[in-house]
Amino acid sequence: MRILKDFKVPNFKFPKFHMKEVSEIDEVNVDYEKLKKAEENKSKKDKKNFQYKGTSFTTVKEMFINSSKEYADRTFLLEKFNPKGDWTEITYNQFKNEVIGLGTALTKKLNLKDARVIIIGENTHHWYLSYMTMLCGAGIAVPVDKELPENEIENVIKRSKAKAVIFSTRKADVIKKAAENLPEVDYFIQMNSDQELEGRLVGLDYLIKEGTELVKAGDNSFMNIEIDPDEFKVLIFTSGTTANAKGVMLCNRNLAENVNAATAYVKLTPDDRLMSILPLHHTYESSIGFLLPFGIGASISVCQGLKHIVPDLQETKPTALLTVPLLVETLYRKINKNIKKSKKDGLVNSMIHVTNALKTVGVDIKRKVFNEIYENLGGRIRIIVSAAAPIDAKVGKWIEDIGILFLQGYGLTETAPIAALTPDFDTRVGSAGKAVVGAELRIDNPNEKGEGEVLISSKTLMLGYYEDEQATKEAIFEENGKRWFHSGDIGYLDKDGFLYITGRSKNVIVTQNGKNIYPEEIELMLSKHTEIKECMVYGKEVKGEKELIITARVIPNYEEIEEKYGKDLDEDKVYKIIWNIIKEVNKELTSYKAVKKLEIKHDEFVKTTTMKIKRYAELKNDK
């Protein structure tokens, strides 16, 4: 099990904030006629049933052909291949030609049509290229987490029965070493390499060039491949060790419906730009961070790594960020810390109230008032989407208070991944969104609070688990002609159909008298305190005790503690500071949920690549 120690929360450095008063903002005028019409239109719009006229793709190849033609000369990808160099812009037309060239070479020159092909590496041009080529007919894509240990990479290649491995230069040593134990793999294809075919090793650039020559000579075989929307096309292993991870089988329809669903709820245009921060092997990033912008002609800037995130934001000026709660909360804390240091926190809070009031009467000056914050984020940010884990509603509310749309999404790898999403025309901070178009959510066996397991029926629902019919039957059942999926998540639906996740069924702590305690609820309350960097709540087995002891394992935020309580504090004092916070949180909890024990943790938690704590692995390490 690998601990993601290379995930470093970026150090957002802002200059001293000056902030403007309302009196300093030009053109604060109320257009009452315009306001009246807006109110009339608003009243006519039924938010409950409203949706945008989104896309209606049935396959990714259909989307690929459409966007390549419609947006040929527009920028698709921006990437800095050299940290000291300039950003390289790749157009839709260039990307299209490379996909066709690579696809032709893979199917005609290497005879890999319909074969399983591993894709492993950093977020880079050739990763996007390889994945799109597979989805357009070259084979079955098997995206793999680049952070897996060597033995697990080797295992997943064997489990997937892969005939080829496409890998980045940084993974070259690992893959070439593994190749010795993988005689069943026909080809190892290195990104950013023009090496001619030598044994089983060949460069991706070389294949693009060879395939392009075949196309120029009249070979249209790759683009003539017809895609069955429901054919198995992607294999993704869920987080966990490869030995016990389930393999999720997806089809083209699953992925295309993600794009259709998102465009019905969120208005995006070709002028939008998303920044790629999360790993592409995860469906959240590959579907919503890649296929969605591609489908509507937008562009993507590839973040060079979290330590470069601020300059990358400022240089590429994205309009939307897809991220996870840990990064959003860090952004919130860093900005507010600098505002406080600038002694502008009182003014900012005042301006939030004033601009909120003005917005209700048709005057939105938030971007002008909070311009300094926007400029430090590139100047064009208008949407932040958080998914993969719960987030403090206070953080989302603050983001909206400064004028940025804050959206949340919900889903799993099994739903490719979107099952619910916040509509941009009806935001509900704290909710995970409402069922996307083409999906239904329902709560199984709800308790007195309406909470129960979330069941999902969706066009994005997987075909099943790879080579595991029993697990598929346990996860999916059919009722009245619809396939329903047991998500394993606990939540409730409000009267408008918005979903609120309260826990994970496999994490639930059951007391002796049958009470259920969901750790996520307590963790969210603890994480609101800035002295706590990260925490995990679990039921600890104690010898001689029948009842599990509710325990909080906490990584202290030493920087914040030093600032508030002074430097050179010993561990006992740090413990007391955290314990006092726990006691305050306990006052807000029902007695049986109260945290009884504190453990201070000094190293990082074991995590997935979307920064979720791997509870089982964390506790297994204890043993």
- As a whole number of angstroms, the distance between CA 342 and CA 476 comes to 54
Q: Which amino acid is located at 485 in the chain?
A: F
**Smallest Cα–Cα separation from 429: which of 393, 387, 383?**
393
Q: Which amino acid is located at 130 in the chain?
A: S
Q: Are 89 and 77 in contact (CB under 8 A)?
A: yes
Q: DSSP state, 284? A: I
Q: Is residue 478 one of the residues assigned to a domain?
A: no
Q: Is residue 297 one of the residues assigned to a domain?
A: no
Which two tokens mark 494? 């409000």
- As a whole number of angstroms, the distance between CA 80 and CA 73 comes to 20
Main-chain dihedrals φ then ψ at residue 200, nearest 5 degrees: -105, 0
Last residue of a domain, one of 211, 231, 251: 251
Q: What pLDDT, on a 0 to 100 scale, did the predictor assign at position 8?
A: 45
* Long-range residue pairs from 584-592, CB within 8 A, at least 24 positions apart, any chain: 585/522, 585/525, 585/526, 585/529, 588/525, 589/522, 589/525, 592/511, 592/515, 592/517
Q: Are 108 and 219 in contact (CB under 8 A)?
A: yes
- As a whole number of angstroms, the distance between CA 377 and CA 309 comes to 9
Q: Which domain holds residue 611?
A: 508-622
Q: Are 386 and 430 in contact (CB under 8 A)?
A: no
Q: What is the CATH number of the domain that holds 553?
A: 3.30.300.30
- As a whole number of angstroms, the distance between CA 525 and CA 615 comes to 18
Q: Are 129 and 102 in contact (CB under 8 A)?
A: yes
What does the chain come to in residues?
A: 623
Which two tokens mark 209? 């060039």
Main-chain dihedrals φ then ψ at residue 116, nearest 5 degrees: -80, 130
- As a whole number of angstroms, the distance between CA 265 and CA 287 comes to 15
* Long-range residue pairs from 154-159, CB within 8 A, at least 24 positions apart, any chain: 154/178, 154/181, 154/182, 155/242, 155/243, 156/118, 156/237, 156/242, 157/118, 157/182, 157/185, 158/182, 158/184, 159/237, 159/242, 159/247
Q: Which residues contact 435 (CB under 8 A, 6 or more apart)?
A: 419, 420, 441, 458, 497, 499
Q: Is residue 208 one of the residues assigned to a domain?
A: yes
- As a whole number of angstroms, the distance between CA 436 and CA 457 comes to 10
Q: How many domains does the chain have?
A: 2
The residues facing 599 across adjacent strands are: 553
- As a whole number of angstroms, the distance between CA 89 and CA 388 comes to 30
Cβ neighbours, 10 Å, residue 46:
7
Q: What pLDDT, on a 0 to 100 scale, did the predictor assign at position 24?
A: 58
Q: DSSP state, 136? A: I
Q: What pLDDT, on a 0 to 100 scale, did the predictor assign at position 17?
A: 61
Q: DSSP state, 306? A: G
The residues facing 503 across adjacent strands are: 490
For residue 235, give the 3-state DSSP assignment: strand
Q: Is residue 125 one of the residues assigned to a domain?
A: yes
Q: Is residue 81 one of the residues assigned to a domain?
A: yes
- As a whole number of angstroms, the distance between CA 210 and CA 490 comes to 52
Q: Are 302 and 79 in contact (CB under 8 A)?
A: yes
Q: What angle do CA 531, 587, 538 make, to 5 degrees?
A: 65
Q: Which amino acid is located at 180 in the chain?
A: E
- As a whole number of angstroms, the distance between CA 96 and CA 99 comes to 5
| Blockwise average pLDDT, block size 10, the chain, 623 residues | 36 58 54 57 62 96 98 98 92 98 98 97 97 98 92 93 97 95 97 96 98 98 98 87 78 97 97 96 95 98 90 96 88 86 87 89 87 92 89 92 95 95 94 95 93 96 96 95 94 96 83 78 92 93 86 95 92 95 92 93 85 81 69
Last residue of a domain, one of 201, 223, 251: 251
- As a whole number of angstroms, the distance between CA 360 and CA 409 comes to 26
Identify the helix (H) or strand (E) that includes residue 384.
strand 383-386
Q: What is the CATH number of the domain that holds 245?
A: 3.40.50.12780
Cβ neighbours, 10 Å, residue 41:
9
Cβ neighbours, 10 Å, residue 93:
15
Phi-psi region of 78 (alpha: psi -120 to 50; beta: other; left: phi over 0): beta
Phi-psi region of 77 (alpha: psi -120 to 50; beta: other; left: phi over 0): beta
Q: What pLDDT, on a 0 to 100 scale, did the predictor assign at position 25?
A: 54
Measure Cα distances from 342 to 13, 14, 148, 250, 335 in Å.
Answer: 12, 10, 43, 50, 11
pTM over 0.75: yes
Q: Are 154 and 129 in contact (CB under 8 A)?
A: no
Q: Is residue 571 one of the residues assigned to a domain?
A: yes
Q: What pLDDT, on a 0 to 100 scale, did the predictor assign at position 44?
A: 45
Alpha carbon 277 to chain centroid, angstroms:
9
Burial of 513 (C-beta count, 10 Å sphere; 0-12/13-18/19+): exposed
Last residue of a domain, one of 195, 225, 251: 251
**Smallest Cα–Cα separation from 591: which of 485, 517, 521?**
517
Q: What pLDDT, on a 0 to 100 scale, did the predictor assign at position 266?
A: 97
Which two tokens mark 387? 């998914």
